[in-house]
Structure formats: C-alpha cells, structure tokens
A and B are shown apart, each in its own frame.
Chain A
C-alpha cells in the first residue's frame, strides 16, 4: 500500500462537465459560476428550444418554452450576461447548438471581443451536427443541402480564424438515445462525418493541408449504455474506424490528426422513473465503460442525474453526478495504469466483430448515396425506430431485464422521491415574461438602422454564396436578434420536415396480449362503423419523438389506423388534423415540460371547434401534480415512463374510446 506522497504518476483526468442552463442568462450564469467553484472544469451550455430552433422569446411558437429546458439567448447582451465574470479566454465551452450554430458562435465571438479576447484564443465546441437532428434530436430548421452548407462554412471559417475550436461534434450520443444499437451508432455517425468532410474537401479554399487540419478538428460525442463492456469495445472500434477513414478516404498521414477525439454523455434512455435511486448505480457503471480503458478513454464526460426520468435536475442532483466523476478520477486507481485491455483476446474479438458489422452498414449507406440521402429516404430513421421497437418489446416481454421496472419491482418507499414535486427543478413561471420584457428593452435601445443593415448584408452574402460567419458576427455586434437572423435564413433556404420513419415499421409477431387487444379493436371498430382511428400528436417545439413513434407503431400493431405527422406542430395544426382525418381519439406526447400550456390549448380548441367529444390522452414527462391538473382540464388518461407496457396502454385507449362512444 503506497502512502499518499508516494502515489504513482497519474494521468490527467478527463474534463468534467455538466450540461446545464435554464430560466435566463442571469440565472444560468450564477449556476455556471457555482459549478466551476465546485471543481467542474468546463462549461456545457443547454439552450432553450426557441433559441435552438431560431425563434425569439416572444414568437408565438415560443410560448411555454422560454427558459424551460435551457437558457434563452436572443442577442449579444444575453450572451454577455451568460458569461459575466467568466473569462472566455480561459474557458472551454461546449455549446449544444445545431441549426443556429453559426449564430450562437457569432454571439460568442462578439461577446469574447467585448471581454477583450480575440477569437483566435477561444476554445470550445459547437455541436453543429444536423444529420442527427433529423434522425433523433429534432431541432433542425433548414433542408439538408442548406444545412450541410452552413456546417461546412463554420468548419472552414474556424479552422483558420478560431483554430482551437471544435467546429463540429459528430454525435452518436443521440442516436443511441433514439434506439441505435452499437453497430448503428458507429456506422451512422461515421457516415455523417463523411458527408460533411466530403463537402469540405470539395470547397475551393480547402487544400490537402487544410483538410488534414479539418479532419483533426472534427470531434465526436458518444453515448455509453449499461452494457459497459460492449460500450468500451465500441469506443475502441470507433478509434480504429476513424483512423482508417482518415487514411484511406482522405489521405491523411499526420498521426496527431488521425486520432479520434471524443466526449461522452452516458445513457439516459435507460434511466428509470421507477426506483429512481437505482440510476445512481447505472450512471456510475456507464461512466466506467468510457474511462476504464486508457486507449478508449473519453476526453470529457457529462453524467445525467439520478432523477433524469422525473424532470430537470436541481443543483444538488447535478452535484451528485459531478461527485461520481470525481470519485472515479481521484479516489480510484484508474488513472495510474496504461491500457488494461491491450492483449485481451476477448476485447479484441468483440471490437473486431463490431468493426466488421459497422463497416458493412457504413458501406450500405455510402452505396445509397451517403448520409444525406439516407436521411431523405428515411433509411436511417426507420432503422432507429425499428431498434427502439425491438428494445421496448424485449422489456415488455421480460427478455431484457430492467431492475425495478420489469423485475424486482417489490421495494420499500424511496426517501429520495418522497419530496414529490420538490425532487426536480421547477423553472420559475415568471422567467418567460421577464425574458420577453428584457428582449423588448433590448430592441428599444439598439440602433435599428444598424441591425437592419446587418440583416440586409447577411441576406446578400448568403444569396451570393459567401461564408455565413463574417456577416453573422457583424450582425451579432449590430444588435440583431436570434429570431431575425434565423428568419433571413428561413426565407432564403426554406424549412424542412424530416421523415418520421414509422410508416414502414415491420409488424411484430403478436403476443397473446397483443392478440387480445387486437380483438377488442376489431370489435369496437365494428360498433363504431369504421376502423378505430387515432391521431398521435406532438405539439410545441419538443423534439422527443421516441414515445410518440412507439405509441404510433403499437397502435398500428393492435389494428388501429394511425395518423402521425412528426414533431413540432402547433395545437391548431393538431386540432385541424384531427378534424380532417376524422379520428376517434387524440394522443399527445410531450416531454419538454410545456404540457401545461400546450395540452390545455389543444383541449380548448377542440371544444371551440365542436369536437369536444373526442377524447384526449397524454403521455410524457408529466409530474403527478400536473397530471391531476390535466385530468381536471378534461384529459382522459396520463402516462409517464413507468407505464412501460405499451400493450396495456393500448388496451386502455380502447376503453377510453368505448366510454366516449357509449350512447
């Protein structure tokens, strides 16, 4: 046993981050500063959904979403407040921003300049990965071609002007959250990176030497699930494949540029609402998967909180996750050794197996024309939906054990959840109003002529094919707002709706229970005179589509006719669909926390349109108190993640429709 003083040489630990931001720039700034004081070593900014989708806080679509799941940033003053007393010169900031990445980076650069820091000194990351937005995350705005152009322009700008910036973080993280298997995670994200590198390579200003630097600056953002041995092998496989692609496809020879650099957020999809304290252990084990092997060790790590499936984490919950990382890095002897698995036949065999399968899948995508084509023709999205369906079926059937959910469910009450609604962060309802007031004040004090001129210049530059960054930075300084910047791009590029991927989902072999519900659907359909028809709707800016997709597929499997139109619809659009389509029941899915406003809107509008008799059921992240309120407002049933048995949900929907149609 060595004494403290004679401790062996240790590796430097990875960077500890916590993905956070809420309410307002001021509140988030306070949170960041206290996190840094606790030993967090980098920042990871969560923006609210309006900011991510390019709307100002006072836009009608922003209603109920401002400051909810992240910080609202409408203009340079917001950004300045967000980093008040945080010297950007020294900070490493990761921004989860995609469709509007060029804009938020511009605001960041302009803010740094106000602090007296040159852009050349900035360090950090813009996520800037649009393909996975279409596939999983849902904050896309523009069509694929325009999006690829924006991404590549940010890359080509930063590689020269902000050389330590990671302009694009290729995310396989979100693919796993949407259901991806390890092989899909590897293949889809590599196809994604290739699609952008091919565009960059074709740019006239990019020569071989630049391409090599670009390759070196592309970073990855991976997931790590509970099967942590396989996850470790997945990371090793990605290291190898990335290097192979660099050498073979792009002719990169510089060893340093060929190294795969990645950060990790561990899996959240598998974190449960039931017995939520179990998540503490899951999170720790998942962290192990991406730190254990030195060769496959992440460069930065974000851990979700134990109450992930309940709602937003409070500072204490995030602190526990940070402590988990600190214990792993500073108490254990993990960092004292070289790679523990070099020479392990087991690990090598598993890694090679993943690698082989992933190469095959990658080739399939490249053969069909690459990642963009595989987005547009829904190939990748369909595969993800299929994998997610398989996963949920296995849980429902008990083939995949989830402790506390489908096994070992007997338990004493958890003191952690006894607080009820107090166990999650509640965003102050006044945040939205205050943000709108401060936005109005900003508009009044800025020089309108300057802002307008900057917008005109922005439009001219993008129409003429110039790089987006310079006019965007100028616009940031001139007091342009997030909504204004985005509107110019919306007008020039148009908007896009990604395929839902559900239409072609294969019908599963019916279990006993499913057949039972099918029979009930058939009988009720006969009574109704036509087949039971359900609309699955996603109101608001929320992009969490897993639940809605799986409900849609299951409803089809039990014999219902299902209308599902994808994410980001207004309550009015949903009500109109329900009317046009003549549905018997409406199912709404909301996970972003804005159910209060949005569900009530749908229910009210149905009444106004004379469709008040159509029953509404709701599912998502709905705290108990809110569920009661929704029921009081007329909602017939409310479901949350603990209702994992989709067949039972369907059975109850049949009840609801039968009740509503009983004369």
Chain B
C-alpha cells in the first residue's frame, strides 16, 4: 500500500468532522460518508483518522433488514422509520443496491418509497451500490454504518438476501431481521439455503393477503425449532403483519427493542461486535490478498491476537496496519522465490 503523508491540517479537519458527525450534523454525516468511500491514497490517512475518532462513538443500534427480492423490505423500512420517528428517535437508512453492473454504474432508486412522513429532518438516507463485491455487500458498508451509528439512534441496512449476504451482514449489524414473503415453497428454499440460521427476528409480511401469511408464520416457527441457530439460547420470534397497511409495526419495534436489551444484558451484543470486527478485518484482508496472503500473518489465533493488539482502532486502521505486514511478508516471499529461481 503506497503511503502518502497526510498533512496535519487534513488530520485535524478529519477529527473536527468526526466531532460534527457525533453531534448529529446532517451535512457532516454526508461528508463523512463521502470520505470513507474515498479511495485515493492521498485521502487514506484522513479517512482512517475519521474512522478512528468516530468508531468508538458509534452507539446507534444497527439493524439489518434482509429477505428475498420483493418481500417488502423497503415498504417495511418505510413503516419502521415512521414508527420510530413517532417515538422521537433519529433514523438512518443505508440501502445497498444489489445490481452491480459490469459498467460500474448502478441505478439506486428505492429511497422515495419512503413516504413523505418518513422523510423529515430526523431521517438520513444513503444508497450504496454493491460495487463489484461478491456476496452483495460493498466494503464501505461497515464504515458507512459506523459513521451513521455515531450520529443516529437507529441505523438500518437493507440488502437483498438469499444466502451469501446474510453471513456478511451479521458482521456489521447488531440485529438481523428477515422479511419473509408468504409464498408457498419459499420456506423450503430458505432452509436449504441455510438462511434461517442467522436472523434474530422474522417478519412474515403481507398478512393482508390472508391465510397464506398465517400458514407461512406457523411453518417458519416449526422450521426454526428444528434447524441450526446462531444463538442457541434464543428462539427468534416470528412476527407477522402488513408493511403496506402498517399492521404489526408497533410489535416489530417492541421486538427490536427487546432484542437490543437482550444483547446488552446477556453480553452477547458485545461479543457479536467483537466477532464482527474480526470477521470484517479478515474478510477485507482476504479480498485483497487471498487466503494465501492472510496466512502469512500466521494461524487464526495469531491473526486474532494481532487484531486485539489494536483495541481502540477502527476496523479500517487495523486492516491498514495488517496490510502493511502482509505486503512485507509477500515481498519477502517473492524475493525468496526470485533467489531460488536464479
């Protein structure tokens, strides 16, 4: 990684920006989100300084909303945002667009599904292209959530999920909600895909369609009793309602709050954040250097130890530090090969 020295002025500006983010200033949130997305080498130090300053303050509750295409995630978010605004809480929404194109371009177009009542000053929306990452989440999802969670009470991230992406979303959120469509056969698909393992809460949407929703909820409950679960001590609640008609939203908000409380008192929340941090760091390094590069850091426990050695630092900072180590190791390895070849 080429390193360019950042001016002290730039670092100072980054810290100032962090302060404004934590104070919930709207233009600062936006600027900070731009900054974490800025991948110029010259911006690197400022970006890391910003994230180092913001990450420890990122206290907002992070909630992932996932589910099959068209399940009603955006509609549900609209209802949730309105509900939370009624309760006086500030809300951020990060909409990850799945359609990454070979052109690099993307059409981000879901935000105005949010009704006018959900578009007031206490709501911040940012859409993000999935870019070229496999599995659906772009690398800036984590840092973006850090920024938003430092400024807002609740931060939601919407991803289209059927498999793959859930396993990644859980690294960046506290609670994962799965929105299910009451369609026949879907459930079996979910179980096969191993999706039911991850969510902390299920919301069977479109209850206005009648019996199918009730049946789907019952099936889901039965399925959950049998299958693997991420948290073995807790059977995730299965709620149902209609995002379109605003039914079951209060109950969902209560269930989310209940889960937030549970994460806190049980200590599971803290443990998840720690694990998530490690997973994000490993994932970022693996994407850049592959399994082989990651292995130059030593065994899994050694990697964890290295991460633990930087407790206050942001994920990106640790990635940065470890990247230099991997690069040095790879470089040595290449030289070694060169010598032997000669």
Residues of chain A at the chain B interface (Cβ within 8 Å): 377, 494-495, 497, 500, 502-505, 507, 510, 518, 521-522, 525-526, 529-531, 552-553, 555-566, 569, 573, 576-577, 579-582, 609-610
Cβ of B310 to closest chain A Cβ, rounded Å = 25
- Smallest CB-CB A-B distances: 7 pairs: A529-B38, A565-B112, A556-B105, A529-B40, A559-B104, A582-B34, A530-B37
Q: Choose among B30, B33, B129 the residue with the greatest number of A CB atoms under 10 Å from its CB.
A: B30
Does B27 interact with chain A (Cβ within 8 Å)?
yes
Does B106 interact with chain A (Cβ within 8 Å)?
yes
List, in ascending order, chain A residues with CB within 8 A of B104's CB. Answer: 518, 521-522, 525, 531, 559
Contact mask B37-68 → A, CB, 8 Å, 1/0?
11110010000000000000000000000000
Our pick among A495, A530, A563, A576 for the contact of B39 (Cβ within 8 Å) is A530
Cβ of B25 to closest chain A Cβ, rounded Å = 11
Report the Cα distance A522→B105, complex, angstroms. Answer: 10
List, in ascending order, chain A residues with CB within 8 A of B33's CB. Answer: 582
List, in ascending order, chain B residues with CB within 8 A of A609's CB. Answer: 27
Does B111 interact with chain A (Cβ within 8 Å)?
yes
Check A563 against B111 for contact (C-beta < 8 Å).
yes
Cβ of B289 to closest chain A Cβ, rounded Å = 22
Check A556 against B101 for contact (C-beta < 8 Å).
yes
Report the Cα distance A529→B47, complex, angstroms. Answer: 12
Check B39 against A560 for contact (C-beta < 8 Å).
no
Does B331 interact with chain A (Cβ within 8 Å)?
no
List, in ascending order, chain A residues with CB within 8 A of B125's CB. Answer: 577, 580-581
Cβ of B223 to closest chain A Cβ, rounded Å = 27
Report the Cα distance A576→B111, complex, angstroms. Answer: 12
Report the Cα distance A564→B33, complex, angstroms. Answer: 19
Nearest chain A residue, comparing its CB with the CB of B31: A582
List, in ascending order, chain A residues with CB within 8 A of B27's CB. Answer: 579, 609-610
Main secondary structure on B side of the interface with A: mixed
Q: Choose among A507, A518, A582 the residue with the greatest number of B CB atoms under 10 Å from its CB.
A: A582
Our pick among B70, B105, B109, B126 for the contact of A557 (Cβ within 8 Å) is B105
Check B111 against A577 for contact (C-beta < 8 Å).
yes
Give the size range of B's interface with the partner: 35 or more
Does B203 interact with chain A (Cβ within 8 Å)?
no
Our pick among A497, A525, A559, A562 for the contact of B112 (Cβ within 8 Å) is A497
Check A556 against B112 for contact (C-beta < 8 Å).
no
List, in ascending order, chain B residues with CB within 8 A of A560's CB. Answer: 105
Does B99 interact with chain A (Cβ within 8 Å)?
yes
List, in ascending order, chain B residues with CB within 8 A of A522's CB. Answer: 104
Q: Give 19 CB contacts A-B under 8 Å.
A: A497-B115, A500-B109, A503-B110, A504-B99, A505-B107, A507-B102, A507-B105, A510-B103, A521-B105, A522-B104, A556-B105, A558-B103, A562-B105, A562-B108, A563-B127, A564-B109, A579-B30, A580-B30, A582-B126
List, in ascending order, chain B residues with CB within 8 A of A577's CB. Answer: 111, 125
A502 and B30 contact, Cβ closer than 8 Å, known pairs A497-B115, A581-B126:
no
List, in ascending order, chain A residues with CB within 8 A of B111's CB. Answer: 563, 565, 577
Cβ of A167 to closest chain B Cβ, rounded Å = 28
Cβ of B36 to closest chain A Cβ, rounded Å = 9
Report the Cα distance A565→B97, complex, angstroms. Answer: 14
Does B230 interact with chain A (Cβ within 8 Å)?
no
Check A580 against B109 for contact (C-beta < 8 Å).
no
Report the Cα distance A563→B30, complex, angstroms. Answer: 15
Does B178 interact with chain A (Cβ within 8 Å)?
no
Check A495 against B116 for contact (C-beta < 8 Å).
yes
Report the Cα distance A312→B70, complex, angstroms. Answer: 41
Cβ of B27 to closest chain A Cβ, rounded Å = 6
Nearest chain B residue, comparing its CB with the CB of A563: B108
Name the interface residues of B56-105: CB closer than 8 Å to any CB of A. Answer: 70, 97, 99, 101-105
Check B109 against A561 for contact (C-beta < 8 Å).
no
Does B124 interact with chain A (Cβ within 8 Å)?
yes
Cβ of B182 to closest chain A Cβ, rounded Å = 14
Report the Cα distance A555→B126, complex, angstroms. Answer: 19
Check A530 against B106 for contact (C-beta < 8 Å).
no
Check A529 against B39 for contact (C-beta < 8 Å).
yes
Report the Cα distance A495→B82, complex, angstroms. Answer: 14
Does B259 interact with chain A (Cβ within 8 Å)?
no
Nearest chain A residue, comparing its CB with the CB of B114: A497
Check B43 against A529 for contact (C-beta < 8 Å).
yes
List, in ascending order, chain B residues with CB within 8 A of A505's CB. Answer: 107
Contact mask B211-253 → A, CB, 8 Å, 1/0?
0000000000000000000000000000000000000000000
Does B119 interact with chain A (Cβ within 8 Å)?
yes
Does B333 interact with chain A (Cβ within 8 Å)?
no
Nearest chain B residue, comparing its CB with the CB of A500: B109
Check B103 against A503 for contact (C-beta < 8 Å).
no
Report the Cα distance A208→B10, complex, angstroms. Answer: 78
